[in-house]
Structure 1
Amino acid sequence: MPPTGDTATESSELPATKIRWTVFALACSTSFLLYLHRYSWNIIGPKLQTEFSFSNTQAAVLFSLFYYTYAAGQIPSGIIVDRFGPHRFLTGIIAAWSIAVAGIAHTSNIMLLGFWRLVFGATQAGCYPALTKISQQWFPATHRTVLQGWVATTFGRAGGAMSPIILGTLLMGVCGLRWQVSVTLIGLVGLVHAIVFFALFRDSPVHDPRVNSAEEELIAGRAVSKTTAVDHRAVLPLRKALQNRSLRIFTVQQFLDAGSDVVFVGLIGTWFLVAHQFDIKQTGWLASLPLFGGALGGIVGGWLNDTIIRRTGNRRWARSGVGFVGKVIGCAMLALVVMQSDGVTGAWLLMAAKFFSDWSQPTTWGTCTDLGGRFSATVFSIINTAGTIGGVCMPIVFGVVLDWFTTTSVVDGIDMSVTDWNPLFVLLSGMYLASGACWLLVDCTDRLTDE
């Protein structure tokens, strides 16, 4: 129905304001900052291990503390965001995790190290549920998945890929700063970002006086009145969520997806250093290739989603098809890694695998907004909790697999250990295939609300 009354007059006479692009920029920079800080552990971890003389097991335990509070904070964060909005909540957690990452660099007490690591995980937990809510409120449905791809995958993966470059190469290498000072500086950047976010962001177009009626209509796809708009403050009933078959399968998909991603976060560097005996300089850029592949995949996957939806009108199979195809091609790329003996070629294949795997990330965000509607933050927090559990469990499984296929022999009186990494990539390939099968069973039109 065309807009009528004053809304029609205003929207026809005035061009739409562009506040949504300010919000988009804030969402992208927040996603970049999240991963910039999270992947700083690649520099922080080895430094702490040296200074505190941690064993590998102790360092791993300290690293894993992040995931426990990160998992525990997902669903409560999603409920809070759906109930009260993302504005003040996201401002607070950005500031809190920025303080936590700097706090890790300024303590000589092992208990405080653990405390800051726990705080870091708890405060980062609510970021993506909040950004999902922002995309649902601020981005037009016809282009939402493309924009979600830029926010979640492109800028997020880019932040992770740039973290060791900014922290290690630039601040510590070129500028000659101590690691504690370097980490403090990126923490201060986070505090500045929190202030800017608080000043420029509002929960929705309806709550932002800078947004005119034309932009509201463009975002919502219909006429919206600031005086009559309903402000939903309900909480998603747990029973209703558990009864939704698509959401249950979606959680399994996310467990497999995030669980497999642990290899790219924590093991690929070791694969290059140990299995292929590259030096640290070569390993740095080779290990970053999969993350850059994922960033590019987010752009393509988001565009592909929205293009197929516009041309076919079939949202259900556009989502499922993109997710399935990406995981199956990623599975094939990993199978090719097993057949390769050259490490550089393997790196490019891993980049391709991550490109196709991560083009499903915008699909994940889009499916959350489709399923959840006004409860999109809660739905995202549920599936992200499943993903975080995968991140907690699968490193143990991967470690057992690597140990199982490690052989030790004595050469010139010295124990030499050799690990066959191929079974790990076979397992990873199987997880990709199972994840793709799950996508075929997820119906994004099986909504939790009547919207």
Structure 2
Amino acid sequence: MTHDSLNVSERPTHRRWTILSLACGASGFLYLHRYTWNFIRPALRDEYDLSNLELSYIYNAFNFAYTAGQVPSGILCDFFGPHMFMVAIIVAWSVSLPGIGVTGGSLPGLCAARALFGVSQAGCYPSLAKISKTWLPIKTRTIGQAMIATLFGRGGGAVSPLIMGTLLMATMGLSWRWALVAIGVTGLVFAMLFYFFFRNSPEVDPNTNQAEVDLIRADDPGSTETGGVLNFWHVIQNPSMCVFMLQQVASAGADFVYVALMGSYFLDNDVDMSWAGLLVSLPLWGGAIGGFIGGFVNDGLIRITGNRRWARTTAGFSGKFIAALLMASIVVLHANPYVVGGMLFFVKFFTDWSQPTVWGTCTDMGGRYSATVFSIINTCGGVGGIALSLSAGGILDYYATELPDGTLQNNYDPLFLAIAALYLLSGISWFFINCTNRLDKDEVFLHPDFADGTPS
């Protein structure tokens, strides 16, 4: 199908924008809720006298459950569609978020609460990847994915410390427990909106006319297909997919620091709660802006070069390489925490510059199995996050120094250098990823860019 075959007797409706808004909202709430950990962590440490290693166990209970739930949730979404699945998991994670406050402080109870929260959130991004492929035209899809994943995803993470730390706790005087309850209620309200206004595809939505269906399906008719399960042997046999998985281990492994340790870093450096909320949010604002711009850059490079494969590689490598240099410079300069907050804004700007590239590559390679492919990539990211966060607790404890009053002062420099190295590895990996090598290329009609699995 080409644009010449579009229905010209009527103007397309605009339901795709409503669906995009719901997808952006879901991504925003996912990170709004998840990044509350920046203030849950120091609260648990102070209230229950937990070590860095014990806190890493609690954090990784979320990561283990989130990672384990990725592929099953991706398969379920590909098979049944995202509508009711998304409603169910948004309700589940909004209810389970405040659960950590009623565990009584036992380590198993704290881990169980975070694990329930993690498994509830596992299916969100695989489902949103599916939604972006089903509802957004291929020519502007990466821009839409940038809005979902980075502008609103990272934006939700950016406002999380401002809402929880600065507004609810510092200004309104709520305890961390009641702050979580308030934030969880907002998620339940959004789940109701998602239930009433979302539909699985334009074809089954009575408010979408045929002209809009034709516009969305132009050059990508296979994007509406559901049902079936990806043959995982195709994944193992695909060299680009294997390197793509390694890339995500390194990238997400480095990014764990923004959700797990930023609050502790600034509070450990004697920044008060109101300023800590702002400084924790700065890198996430950088990521939101960088990822949004990266979506335009990615689609622009594809149009200018006519080569989807190398456009993705250029965007992926450049962002990670610059982020690695900036992260290493933080250690070299030994700046005060306020300057570090500003520098981390630019680190996250460039590392998330490439996040739309990841989403685009998932839908490029995944085809009808986009949710499953995204879940595999997100699983690899979870593995990286688990490995680095477990290592981080030990690294911080090992390099900590004891102050005269008996307290420990954490040294974050070795950890920041490890993160810079991971960004560099992630960037180099993009030279070996061919996004046009589709996993479903023998099953559906292909856009000319993908017809033989090689770059156009």
In the alignment, is the contact (CA less than 8 A) between 1:273 and 1:280 conserved in 2?
Answer: yes
In the alignment, is the contact (CA less than 8 A) between 2:37 and 2:260 conserved in 1?
Answer: no
Q: Secondary structure of 1:449's match?
A: coil
Residue 434 of structure 1 is matched in structure 2 by 425
Moved more, 205-214 or 125-134: 205-214
Cα–Cα, structure 1 residues 255 and 424, in superposed 2: closer, same or farther, change >3 Å? Answer: same
Residue 42 of structure 1 is matched in structure 2 by 38
In the alignment, is the contact (CA less than 8 A) between 2:71 and 2:372 conserved in 1?
Answer: yes
Spell out, residue by residue over 1:281-326, the C-alpha distance to the aligned partner (whole angstroms, 9 max, x if none): 4333222211111111111110100111112211001111100011
Residue 145 of structure 2 is matched in structure 1 by 148
Q: Secondary structure of 2:69's match?
A: helix
Residue 387 of structure 2 is matched in structure 1 by 393
> 1:335, CA displacement in angstroms?
2.5
- Percent identity reads 45
In the alignment, is the contact (CA less than 8 A) between 1:35 and 1:163 conserved in 2?
Answer: yes
2:439 is the alignment partner of 1:448: yes
Q: Partner amino acid for 2:147? A: W
In the alignment, is the contact (CA less than 8 A) between 2:223 and 2:368 conserved in 1?
Answer: no
Cα–Cα, structure 1 residues 180 and 426, in superposed 2: closer, same or farther, change >3 Å? Answer: closer
Q: Secondary structure of 1:342's match?
A: coil
In the alignment, is the contact (CA less than 8 A) between 2:316 and 2:427 conserved in 1?
Answer: yes
Moved more, 431-440 or 99-108: 99-108
Q: Spell out the pairing of 1:73-88 with structure 2 (5 A cutoff).
A: 73-88=69-84
Q: Distance in 2 between matches of 1:345 and 1:256?
A: 26
Q: Spell out the pairing of 1:202-217 with structure 2 (5 A cutoff).
A: 202-217=199-214
Q: Partner amino acid for 1:335? A: A
In the alignment, is the contact (CA less than 8 A) between 1:66 and 1:117 conserved in 2?
Answer: yes
Find the partner of 1:315 among 297, 308, 313: 308
Residue 320 of structure 2 is matched in structure 1 by 327
2:278 is the alignment partner of 1:285: yes
Find the partner of 2:349 among 355, 359, 369: 355
Structure 2: give runs of 5+ residues left out of the alignment. 447-456
Q: Distance in 2 between matches of 1:270 and 1:143?
A: 39
Q: Distance in 2 between matches of 1:223 and 1:86?
A: 19
> 1:345, CA displacement in angstroms?
2.8
Residue 134 of structure 1 is matched in structure 2 by 131
> 1:44, CA displacement in angstroms?
3.3
In the alignment, is the contact (CA less than 8 A) between 2:57 and 2:111 conserved in 1?
Answer: no
Q: Distance in 2 between matches of 1:117 and 1:311?
A: 45
Q: Partner amino acid for 1:430? A: A
In the alignment, is the contact (CA less than 8 A) between 1:217 and 1:223 conserved in 2?
Answer: no
Q: Partner amino acid for 2:94? A: S
Structure 1: give runs of 5+ residues left out of the alignment. none
Q: Distance in 2 between matches of 1:229 and 1:155?
A: 24
> 1:127, CA displacement in angstroms?
0.3
In the alignment, is the contact (CA less than 8 A) between 1:3 and 1:223 conserved in 2?
Answer: no
Residue 453 of structure 2 is matched in structure 1 by none
> 1:3, CA displacement in angstroms?
7.6
Residue 291 of structure 2 is matched in structure 1 by 298
In the alignment, is the contact (CA less than 8 A) between 1:35 and 1:160 conserved in 2?
Answer: yes
Find the partner of 1:425 among 412, 416, 422: 416
Cα–Cα, structure 1 residues 114 and 331, in superposed 2: closer, same or farther, change >3 Å? Answer: closer
Find the partner of 2:374 among 353, 363, 380: 380
TM-score, length-normalised on structure 1?
0.90
Q: Distance in 1 between matches of 2:409 and 2:171?
A: 36
Residue 454 of structure 2 is matched in structure 1 by none
2:368 is the alignment partner of 1:371: no
> 1:365, CA displacement in angstroms?
0.2
Q: Distance in 2 between matches of 1:287 and 1:376?
A: 32
Q: Distance in 2 between matches of 1:106 and 1:400?
A: 28
Cα–Cα, structure 1 residues 55 and 401, in superposed 2: closer, same or farther, change >3 Å? Answer: closer
Q: Distance in 2 between matches of 1:77 and 1:21?
A: 25
Cα–Cα, structure 1 residues 223 and 360, in superposed 2: closer, same or farther, change >3 Å? Answer: closer
Q: Distance in 2 between matches of 1:244 and 1:395?
A: 29
Spell out, residue by residue over 1:25-57, the C-alpha distance to the aligned partner (whole angstroms, 9 max, x if none): 100110110111111223334444555555554
In the alignment, is the contact (CA less than 8 A) between 1:148 and 1:365 conserved in 2?
Answer: yes
Spell out, residue by residue over 1:99-130, the C-alpha distance to the aligned partner (whole angstroms, 9 max, x if none): 11133334547455443322111110000000
Q: Partner amino acid for 2:137? A: P
User: Alignment length, in residue pairs?
Assistant: 440
Spell out, residue by residue over 1:320-355, the C-alpha distance to the aligned partner (whole angstroms, 9 max, x if none): 110001111111112221221322333222211110
Q: Secondary structure of 1:142's match?
A: helix
TM-score, length-normalised on structure 2?
0.89
Q: Distance in 1 between matches of 2:183 and 2:265?
A: 29
In the alignment, is the contact (CA less than 8 A) between 1:295 and 1:358 conserved in 2?
Answer: yes
In the alignment, is the contact (CA less than 8 A) between 1:216 and 1:223 conserved in 2?
Answer: no
Q: Distance in 2 between matches of 1:338 and 1:185?
A: 38
